[in-house]
Amino acid sequence: MSRRLLPLVLVLSVIAPLRALASDQVVSEERPVEHIHLFFPQDPELTWFIDSWGASRSGGRSHIGVDLMAPKASPVYSIAEGIVTRIGRGTSAGAFIIVNHGSGWESRYMHPDIDEPGSSNGRGGFDTAIAPGLEVGSFVDAGTLIGFVGVSGNARGSDPHTHFELHRDGRAIDPYSILVEAHERALMLVQWTRLAAIVD
C-alpha cells in the first residue's frame, strides 16, 4: 500500500464505526441507559451545555432536562429514529416537538424559534419553529432535521437554546452523560471527515 493511501485508509477505518455509533437507534428494551448511543441533536461545533439537571427553577420546579445553547435558528435534529407524536405550543415550553423512539423511549425538544426572521416578535409561528413538512405521525431517522433553536415560551429573554428531555417509560431521566458522549462522537466525526477530505 502506498504511503499516500495509508492515511486515507486509517481515516476511513475510524469514520465507519463513528458513523455507526452516531446513527445507533434507541430501540432495545434491555439496553441500559448508560449505553445508549444517540445522534447529537444540534451542530456539535455551535452547541455548548452544562449539567443543569435538577437545578432550581421558578415556582419551586426542578429542571428535568439539559439546555443545549446555540445560535438562534440553528438546526435541531432527532436523536434517533422514531415517530413524531406531538407538535405543539405551551406557556412554559413554547413550541415543542416530541418523538417516540419505541421500547418506552421518548425525546422532547422545547423552545424552538417562533420569531419572524431577524426579529424577536414571536410571530413566526410553526413555520420558523418546525422543519418543513414535519407533522404528527412523521417518521424520522436519527439526524433528521425537526426544528430550529429559539427562545419561545419561558425561554424568552434568555440565550437561545433547546431544552432537551429524554424519557423512559413516562419518566424523565438525566440525559447529561449521554449527551456528553454523543457530543464527543459528533465532534470526532466532524474532525475525521475534514481530515479525510484533506487526505483525499
Indicate the pLDDT class of residue 5, thresholds 50, 70 and 90: very low
SS3 content of the chain, % helix, strand, coil (to 5): 30, 30, 45
CB-CB contact of 148 with 94 (8 Å) = no
- pLDDT, position 123: 84
Pairwise CA distance, residues 145 & 126, whole Å: 14
Residue type, 49: F
Q: Would you state the pLDDT for residue 91?
A: 84
Q: Supply the pLDDT for residue 125.
A: 81
User: Can you list the positions of beta strands (E) in 33-183?
Assistant: 56-57, 61-62, 66-69, 75-77, 82-90, 94-102, 105-110, 139-140, 145-148, 161-168, 171-173
pTM of the full structure = 0.79
pLDDT (average), residues 33-62: 78
Mean of pLDDT over the chain: 81
